[in-house]
Structure formats: C-alpha cells, structure tokens
Amino acid sequence: MHIPDNYLSPSTCAVVGAAMVPVWAVAVNKVKKEITKAKMPLLGVGAAFSFLIMMFNVPLPGGTTGHAVGGTLLAILLGPWSACISLTIALLLQALLFGDGGILAFGANAFNMAFVLPFVGYFIYKFIKDRVKSEKGEYLGIALGSYFGINAAALLAAIEFGIQPLLFKNAAGQPLYCPYPLSVSIPAMVIPHLLVAGFVEVLFTVAIVAFIKRVSPGILYEGAKQKTRPLYGLIAALICLSPLGLLATGTAWGEWGSDEIAQVVSGGKALGFTPQGMKNGFSFESLIPDYAVKGLPDVAGYILSAVAGAAVLILLFKIIGSVKKNKTENISG
Amino acid sequence: MPEWLLKDENYVPQGDKDTFINKSILSLLGVLSRIRAQGGYKTDRLAVNPTLKVGFTVLLVVLLSISRSFAFVIFINVYLLAALCLLKGEEILKILKTSFAVAAFTFIILLPSVFWGNYYSICMITPKVFATVTAVNMLSHSTKWNAITGAVKSFFVPDIFILVLDITIKYIFLLGEFSLNMLYSLKLRSVGKNGDKYTSLSGVAGTMFIKSKEMAEDMYSAMECRGFTGEYRRYQKIKFTFADFLYIMIHMAIIFVFIYLERA
C-alpha cells in the first residue's frame, strides 16, 4: 500500500499532502497536551510495532504481495491522534531509510495509512464497544475496526492510483503516471485486502491487544499495572520473525520499479510501455533500499533493517519524551 | 553627623564586558556538573561488568577502524542504536548530539574528496566515526569513572598510570571548584571598568598551579600515612551475571560477523 514516487502526479501529491497538514497540526497539538512524558516512549514502541508489522509481507491472490499496517492497533492502544503521529513517523522512516513509499507521495501515504486507517478503525471499534458491553463485544470491535480500517486505506490508495490515467495523459493518449484506471486499480487493490490482508491485520491486532491486556493492562486502562519490558520482548520476537515476510516474493500491486512496470500483466496482457512520468521522474537513493544491505544475505539484511527501524523509532520518542520532561520542569520550577 | 554622609551619591559604575569571565565560569560549571552527575549514575541499566565493557568497546573501535566492509559498519551502527534504546532519554539525547556533531564535522571535512570522485571515504568514514563516538560515549555515560579505572587495572596497565588517572579525575573536580571561586571573586571585585581583569587571569592560573602542587603533596603523604605503597589491588568478587553472558555472546557474534564479512 506504500505508493512509490512517480505513480501519482506531483499535483495529486500536493493536494493530498496539503490535506494532511491540518491533520498533523491538530495531532501534534493533541499529543502535546494529552500525552504525558512517561507515555511518550509508548508512541515509539507503537511506531516500532507498526513498522515491524508492515515488514510481514503475505502473498496475495493475483501474484502480488501485501502487508498489514497495525494502524487500528495503535489507535486502540494510544488513541487515534497519537496513532497518527506514530504511523507518520514510521512511514517517514520507511521512505527515507528504506525507500519503501515515495518521498513526493509521502503525503498521500500518510493520508491513507496514518489518517484514514487509524480513524476509521478506531471509530468502528468505539461504536461497537460502546454498544456491546462485554469482552466479546470489545474483541468484535477490534476485529471489525481493524478489518475495515485497512480496507478503507486500500480503497483510498486504489482511488488515488485510479484517477491518474483519467487526469494525466500525454499527447499520444498514454498515461503519464499510474497507467491503470479505477476499473483496474480498485479490484486489484481492494479484493486482495478484503480476502487476505484484512484478516492478517485482524490477526495481528487481536493477538497483540490480547497480549497487552494480559501482561500490561496499564497501557489500555488507567491505573492498572503497566510494564514495558514484555512489549520490548514482543518487539524482539517480531524482529526475529520478520524474515517470514521475505517468503512472499512478488512485488506489491502498485509498487513496481520503473524497470518492472512494462512487463506487468493485467487482464491477460502486459502493459508494454513505461509511462513517461516514471521514466524520467523524481528518484531518491535511500540508505538501505528495499530492506537489503549490500554484501549481506537477504535474511540478515531484513533483520538488520527491522532492528534499525525499531531502534530509531524507540530512540526518537524516548528523546522527545525527555525533552518534554525538561519543559514541564521549567514551567513548574 | 559629618556632612559627606548626608550628601546624595549617584555613582553609576561604568559598563564593562564580562563575557569572557562568564564564558569561563559556564564552561567550568559544565565540566564540574558532569563529574558531579557521575555520582548519581544508576548502574541498573547495562549492568555489565565494567572490565568487559571497556575491553569490548576497545575491541569494537579497533574492528570498526580496520573493517573494509560497508555492511559491517552498518551492522555495528544498527547494533549500537539498538543498545542505545536501553538508556534513558536524556542520556540518549546527549550521546546522539555528540555523535551527530562529530559525524557532521567529518562529513564536511571529507566533502571535497567527493568532488574528486572518491565516494568510498565519505561513505565509510562518516558512519565509522559515528559508531566509534557513540560506542565510547555509551561507555562513559553508563559506567562510573572509578569503575573504569578499576577495569583498566585488569588490563595490566601499570599502577603509576592508574594513580595519575585516578588523581586527575578527582582533582579536575577540586581544582575546578577552586578556580570557579576565584573567577567569582574576580567578577565580584571588579566594580565598574576593570582594565586589569585579563592580567588577573595569570594570577588565577598561577594560584591554581601552586594549590595543585600543595594538594598533591598533601594527599600523597596522607595516602602514605594510611599505608599506600603505590600498588593498586582490586578487592572485588567477580560475579558473572546473565547480562555479562549476553554481552559476551553479542560480541562473539560481532567478531563472527566481522570475520564472515572481511574474508571476501
């Protein structure tokens, strides 16, 4: 679901990015006001969870791959606004460090995965939880919330892909950016997510919420005991398991490189050309492209990337937490 | 009542520039507060035997500097970042600030070589410097200084070096306090414009020197009176904890990765 650069026109990126700016502004304000300094590192742990969950690629029908996002999970654990911040930072890290998702398309990716996904998921969860007052009701809310959250995000990504050929064509009528219209992109993105990725998301969300409820309920409910050590343990376990994501070999739909796209088969025939905007578009060299380190086996590179991503996210929010602490001390003292 | 007492006085001292004294005071205070903060360090995080820590940090720096594989350098950087997660936010901030500053400086220094087409050094040396500075800073932030001098003893460093190191660390603090007081008094006594302020500085330095000589002699005789023969002995039971075991295993893995990546 990470839209690479040059699949969306720069104007689309600008519009969606601009839509994201007020969301970020509100989110930063809310987090500043509502999240205590002690809870700040949890945002980092959440971002690390999401980062790792996104590394578990699953093969999807149609020869492509996909992954869960964990957005609803973060929204349930931290609240939707904090989830928005955590997911944004995780996506930014993926774009800058690992070349997963474009730099220009960052706004669009953030809109789909850091805004729509956690909010849709969270409100469905809340809606059901408030009406069915039992443990089963809560888990039903979690499952449905996460299922519809990720599918809403996939649908939006498909719409963003699909409007490109309608809006941007060269003189010969060939699409400049993403070549697939809505009639192709929506089924291609949404059906696999409805059938497989949605359930993977539900699985991750329910399993992790259940785990946290058992070992550290203080994260979910005020006043209960809160332990962060099991969370770090869970992160370590996810890191060790992350190479499972390498088993799914295809490229995710809409994430082909510019050298791949001409050979992509859809509806029985290959595309046969490389859209102009992709051939000579914006390109960015990330430090560890595609989670592979030169000179290391794929599995080692993947684990190393997982450790690096999780560590950077935890460090970042720990530092933010410590800076925040100094500020409140200055005000009171 | 004498007449001069009843007269109104309006003496306005001339403005003077204090920036250099203020700066010296600030930098002294910075060093002192760092040494003082050392006393408060908890050792429950990264509670690994300091001897192991010193030894493996040195090993890490050596491996980093002789490595020719980019993958190894990235690997070490990732390992250090992960280890950094165990520290507290404030410490992380301090350590990373230094590391980024030094790495940025290295990057700028090496930038000209890129214009001549040499990408190798900038790709290798900048992350190497980053990793080295982070590793050493992590050691100094997670270990007390007396633990480090103790660890140095286990590496068969001659006692005279340990004596000097030990006394230096203690005396940086004491002499720092003295010079701080002298700078304060210089500041307080300079009313209005004091042209001699800069010449007083040599006085401060001279007094410091005499003071340190006296104090060193006093301390050495006091140590001799208490039976110090110039020999350091460690009275510490070596406890081998799970953390130590983990630490050794991680570094064995690092050595293994180093050999694996360098054999090509």
Q: Quote ipTM for the complex.
A: 0.77
CA distance A198 to chain B (A): 31
Structure confidence at residue A223 as a pLDDT band (50, 70, 90): low
Which residues, in sequence order, are bridge partners of residue A57?
A67
CA of A36 vs chain B CAs: smallest distance (Å): 14
Under an 8 A CB cutoff, do B261 and A308 touch? no
* Number of domains present in the structure of chain B: 2
B121 and B82 in a common domain: yes
Distance CA A32, CA A26 (A): 10
Interface test with B, best of A97, A293, A313, A327 (most B CBs within 10 A): A293
**Shortest distance, CA A24 to any CA of chain B (angstroms):** 24
Are residue B78 and residue B134 in the same domain, yes or no?
yes
Q: From chain A, pick out residues whose CB is under 8 angstroms from the CB of B71.
A: 293-296
Give the tens place of pLDDT for each residue, A142-175: 999 999 999 999 999 888 888 888 787 777 777 7
Kindly determine whether residue A307 and residue B74, on different chains, have CB atoms separated by under 8 Å.
no
In a domain, B91, yes or no: yes
Residue B32 lies in a domain: no
DSSP strand pairing (A269-270 vs A57-59): unpaired
Q: Is A111 exposed, middle or buried (0-12, 13-18, 19+ CB in 10 A)?
A: buried
pLDDT in tens, A254-306: 777 777 777 776 666 666 677 777 776 677 777 777 777 777 778 888 888 88
Q: Which residue range forms the structural domain that includes residue B145?
A: 49-156+237-264
Closest Cβ–Cβ partner in A232, A295, A322 for B71: A295
Q: Is the pLDDT of residue A120 over 90?
A: yes
Asked whether residue B107 is assigned to any structural domain, the reply reads: yes
Indicate whether A16 pLDDT > 70: yes
Q: Are residues B106 and B214 in the same domain?
A: no
Domain membership flag for residue B35: no
- B144 and B55 co-located in one domain: yes
Structure-model confidence comparison of residues A317 and A223, the more confident one? A317
Closest chain A C-alpha to B81 CA, distance in angstroms:
6
B57 and B163 assigned to the same domain: no
Nearest CA in chain A to B94: A319
Q: Does residue B73 sit in the same domain as residue B174?
A: no
Structural domains for chain A: 10-332 (1.10.1760.20)
Closest CA to A97 of B85, B78, B67: B78
Partners of residue B75 in chain A, C-beta under 8 Å = 293, 296, 304
Interface check for B75 against chain A (CB to CB < 8 A): the answer is: yes
- Lowest-pLDDT range of A160-164, A263-267, A311-315, B229-233: A263-267
Tens-digit pLDDT profile for residues A64-116: 778 888 889 999 988 899 999 999 999 998 888 887 888 888 889 999 989 99
- The average pLDDT across B55-76 equals 89
Asked whether A186 and A155 are in contact (CB, 8 A), the reply is yes
A325: chain B residues, CB-CB within 8 Å: 89
Note whether B92 contacts A41, CB cutoff 8 Å.
no
- B-chain CB neighbours of A294 within 8 Å are 70-71
Is B126 in the same domain as B204? no
Q: Does B122 touch chain A (CB under 8 A)?
A: no
- In degrees, rounded to 5, the angle at the alpha carbon of residue A304 between the alpha carbons of residues A60 and B246 is 125
Pair B63, B151 in one domain? yes
User: What residues contact residue B228 under an 8 Å CB cut-off, 6+ apart?
Assistant: none
B250 touches chain A (CB under 8 A): no
What is the spatial distance between Cα A152 and Cα B95, in angstroms, rounded to a whole number?
Answer: 42
B134 and B216 inside one domain: no
Cα A267 to chain center, whole Å?
A: 28
The pLDDT of B4-12, averaged and rounded, is 81
**Does residue B134 register a pLDDT over 50?**
yes
pLDDT value of residue A268: 60
What is the model's pTM? 0.79
In this structure, are B244 and B143 located in the same domain?
Answer: yes
Q: Hey, is the C-beta of B58 within 8 angstroms of any chain A C-beta?
A: no
Q: A interface toward B at CB cutoff 8 Å?
A: 41, 232, 288, 293-296, 304, 307-308, 310-312, 314-315, 318-319, 321-323, 325
Is B92 in CB contact (< 8 Å) with chain A? yes
Are B182 and B224 in a shared domain?
Answer: yes
Residue B214 belongs to some domain of the structure: yes
**Chain B residues in contact with A318 (beta carbon < 8 A):** 85, 88-89, 92
Longest Cα separation, chain B: 97
At residue B230, does pLDDT exceed 80? no
- pLDDT of B236 reads 64
- Identify whether residues B62 and B114 lie together within a single domain: yes
B62 is a domain residue: yes
